[in-house]
């Protein structure tokens, strides 16, 4: 029974009737990342790249030293904060972002705190209720409520940071940027899903 549901008919249960959300459309380039892409050839190609480039045993093992170093940095920082109040949620964001950036680009990237703040605001706004999601045939509702303009502003700001990261990476390396950006996109998708599950 489980094999039927999870393997044979996984598309029917998981992806065939995926709902449309304005936030996923705006923030993920019209639902183009692996989390929100509709089931089909494009999604299957993303999944294939994700499995080959991120989730193969060899690749997961190759990221181990990055994960260990960043977790050690977090533990060291926590030791220095003994007895003081801390924002652990922000530190988990920092950890996830740092691991992601180092895995995709080989180093931490500039404007990390600003990008994390933008993603936090994105999760806050996206987690709210919007009439435009309930009535997608009336897109004016999301404009009138301010929901879509707020998301578009966040998207422009995060795009600016991502473009800076891409430009910096292209200038400083000869690696396959297209593959790395796909990795970054999939990591970000996972980051978004992880944060949603952990903190909402």
Rounded CA gap, 115 and 38, in Å? 26
Position 194 scores a pLDDT of 46
Position 197 scores a pLDDT of 43
Position 3 scores a pLDDT of 66
- Calculate ∠ Cα 130-148-90, nearest 5°: 85
**Closest CA relative to residue 127, chosen from 29, 195, 190:** 195
Position 1 scores a pLDDT of 65
Say which DSSP state 19 is in: P
* H-helix segments, the chain: 2-3, 10-14, 22-27, 41-53, 57-62, 64-80, 88-105, 112-126, 131-134, 140-145, 147-172, 177-199
139 — phi, psi (to 5°)?
A: -65, -20
The structure's pTM equals 0.67
State pLDDT tens for residues 55-114: 889 988 988 999 999 999 999 999 999 899 999 988 988 898 888 878 776 677 777 778
Residues of the chain with pLDDT under 70: 1-17, 105-106, 173-200
Q: From 1.10.606.20, 1.10.150.120, 1.10.630.10, 3.40.50.300, which CATH number describes the 21-198 domain?
A: 1.10.630.10
CB atoms within 10 A of CB 120: 15
CB atoms within 10 A of CB 94: 19
Position 173 scores a pLDDT of 64
Position 196 scores a pLDDT of 46
Contact 110, 164 (CB under 8 A): yes
Rounded CA gap, 200 and 196, in Å? 5
Rounded CA gap, 194 and 189, in Å? 9
Tokens of 166: 């891409």
């Amino acid at each position: 029974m489980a094999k039927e549901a999870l393997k044979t008919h996984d598309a029917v249960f998981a992806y065939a009737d995926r709902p449309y959300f304005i936030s996923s459309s705006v923030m993920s380039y019209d639902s183009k990342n692996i989390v929100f892409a509709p089931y089909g050839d494009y999604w299957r190609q993303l999944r294939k790249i994700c499995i080959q480039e991120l989730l193969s045993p060899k690749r997961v093992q190759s990221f181990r030293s990055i994960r260990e170093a960043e977790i050690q940095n977090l533990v060291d920082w926590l030791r220095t904060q003994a007895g003081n109040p801390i924002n652990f949620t922000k530190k988990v964001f920092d950890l996830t972002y740092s691991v992601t950036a180092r895995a995709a680009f080989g180093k931490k990237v500039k404007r990390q705190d600003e990008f994390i703040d933008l993603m936090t605001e994105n999760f806050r706004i996206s987690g709210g209720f919007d009439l435009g999601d309930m009535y997608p045939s009336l897109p004016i509702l999301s404009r009138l409520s301010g929901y879509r303009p707020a998301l578009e502003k966040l998207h422009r700001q995060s795009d600016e940071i991502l473009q800076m990261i891409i430009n910096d990476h292209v200038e400083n390396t000869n690696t396959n940027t297209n593959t790395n950006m796909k990795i970054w996109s999939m990591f970000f998708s996972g980051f978004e899903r992880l944060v949603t599950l952990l903190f909402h």
